[in-house]
Amino acid sequence: MKKSHFLFFALGVLMLPACNHGTEEYVTYMTNEPVFMSVSEFRSSVDVEEPKPIEEQGKIAFYSDYLYISQPGKGIHVIDNRMPSNPRNIAFIELLGNADMHIKGNMLYADSFIDLVWFDISDPAAPVLKGRKEEVFPEALPPIENHYGCDYAQAMDRKNGIVVGWKVVEKKELVSNYNSRWHWGWGWSKELMYTDAASSTGNSTGMVGSMSRFAIYKDYLYTILHNQLGIFDLTGETPEKVGKEVYVGDNAETIFPYKDYLFFGTPTGMIVYSVENPTEPVYMSRVIHILGCDPVVVEDDIAYVTVRSGDFCGQDVDMLMVIDVKDVKHPKPIVDYAMYNPKGLGIDNGTLFVCDKGLRVFDAKDPLTLLANELAHFKEMDGLDVIPYNNVLMMIADDGIYQYDYTDVTKIKLLSVLPIGK
């Protein structure tokens, strides 16, 4: 739960008559009660099925002419994108609790609530489950889509099984300043849990969106969840967790690898770690900004950070920050630009794509003249995230997967729309 929500609940409790010294009172409140599934049923639920309609936007990944689209909490859609003008939905990987994924060497790595699973996608139409590493994300829970709390201790008790959802219930408890039984617990929004510019470290490594919590650098997979940075060695048949978990802090939400560094987007700013030694990340610096949701991408030592307002994002500020990161120990803010409500972004050879009231495209070669050099603004959709690659812009939006040809950035052309929605 965001600090602001916690404070709201805490103040509400303090203001109740039941909190007067020496008094007590029954208080009725709403809370989220966990819905459990047995551990065996949960881990046996993985399946590869015929293609299904994409019902909801999620994270996006690209590898070897195929798109992989997460269905939040449900699984991963496989899209044959060898012809961006005619993408074809060819398979669905049922994977409960999936939010993020990344790809390296024909192997797709994905989260499934508390576990990490991986699939051989040598034949993208028929992915093969190769393994599962259990309890590597022990605190992972389904997103909470309201402002109510939850009983965290109950949800984390494995004797009850795996939490696969929530149901809102009304509770009544006796409350006093001597009564310690009343706990609001905490939850978090779907916006943060499932919140992806493209990153690639070689021909055998896939690309993911700017809101991804997974990143691959060299032969290592990096994951960020609840401020903990996990590191997995991918050189063997089984990913091995290596090094010590690093506490990044600031509610880090996204990762973008650039050169020998990891750039983390957080609700309060950008954090930079060196991974020159891949198993021992070293803190370099941070840039603080006004509270808001934000991914980050980097090209030619310039970082672009979107700051977005919203129910779960903090203050009512929407902007694009441009930062000089040539000296990663001393980043220098260059300029801020007002935006509508920016989400994911991507950059390719000086062309910047921002999901902001649709899709906006900028010539970013001179950061100081960015708005004056807006090349296009497509307003017919609500874009979430993008991957620009080989003059094709792949964007996931609220109602579809949009693809554009930007070979000529002055004449960007729509290639196709693959619908999303029930």
Query: Could you read off the pLDDT of 324-364 as tens digits, one per residue?
Result: 999 999 999 999 999 999 999 999 999 999 999 999 999 99
Who has greater pLDDT, 17 or 409?
Answer: 409
- Residue % of the chain over a pLDDT of 90: 70
- Mean pLDDT over all residues of the chain? 86
Distance CA 107, CA 45 (A): 20
Shared domain for 65 and 158, answered yes or no, is: no
Per residue in 101-137, pLDDT tens? 999 999 999 999 999 999 999 999 999 999 999 999 9
State mean pLDDT over 368-388.
95
Look up residue 373 and give its DSSP letter. Answer: G
Shared domain for 203 and 167, answered yes or no, is: no
Distance CA 213, CA 229 (A): 10
Per residue in 175-208, pLDDT tens? 665 443 333 333 333 433 333 333 443 448 999 9
Distance CA 107, CA 235 (A): 11
Q: Which helix (H) or strand (E) holds 285?
A: strand 282-288
Cα 45–chain centre separation: 23
pLDDT higher than 80, residue 159:
yes
State mean pLDDT over 54-59.
93
**Band (172; pLDDT cuts 50, 70, 90):** confident
Are 281 and 274 within 8 A, CB to CB? yes
Shared domain for 364 and 318, answered yes or no, is: yes
**Band (312; pLDDT cuts 50, 70, 90):** low
Who has greater pLDDT, 84 or 176?
Answer: 84
Shared domain for 171 and 53, answered yes or no, is: no
Give the pLDDT confidence score for residue 140 in this predicted structure. 87
Are 406 and 388 within 8 A, CB to CB? yes
Per residue in 248-282, pLDDT tens? 988 898 999 999 999 999 888 899 999 999 999 99
Q: Where are the beta strands (DSSP E) in 189-244?
A: 207-208, 214-217, 220-225, 228-233, 240-241
Give the pLDDT confidence score for residue 134 in this predicted structure. 95
Shared domain for 19 and 106, answered yes or no, is: no
Pick from 85, 87, 83, 79: nearest CA to 58: 79
Give the pLDDT confidence score for residue 220 in this predicted structure. 97
Shared domain for 11 and 111, answered yes or no, is: no
CA dihedral 318, 322, 323, 326 (to 10 degrees): 150
13-22, 100-109, 354-363, 387-396, range with the lowest pLDDT: 13-22
Shared domain for 323 and 178, answered yes or no, is: no
Are 419 and 399 within 8 A, CB to CB? yes
4-18, 122-136, 298-312, 336-350, range with the lowest pLDDT: 4-18
Are 331 and 339 within 8 A, CB to CB? no
Distance CA 155, CA 150 (A): 8
Number of Cα atoms under 13 Å in the Cβ half of residue 312: 20
**Band (144; pLDDT cuts 50, 70, 90):** confident
Cα 5–chain centre separation: 21
Who has greater pLDDT, 291 or 319?
Answer: 319
State mean pLDDT over 60-82.
97
Shared domain for 345 and 234, answered yes or no, is: yes
Shared domain for 177 and 279, answered yes or no, is: no
Give the pLDDT confidence score for residue 405 in this predicted structure. 98
CATH number at residue 279: 2.130.10.10
Shared domain for 153 and 118, answered yes or no, is: no
Give the pLDDT confidence score for residue 29 in this predicted structure. 85
How many domains is the chain partitioned into structurally? Answer: 2
Distance CA 298, CA 304 (A): 6
Tell me how crowded residue 403 is: count the other CB atoms within 10 A of its CB: 22
240 in helix, strand or coil?
Answer: strand
Shared domain for 89 and 203, answered yes or no, is: yes
Q: Which domain holds residue 54?
A: 43-136+191-419
Give the pLDDT confidence score for residue 7 in this predicted structure. 40
Shared domain for 353 and 372, answered yes or no, is: yes
Tokens of 252: 């880090």
* Bridge partners, 336 (sequence order): 321
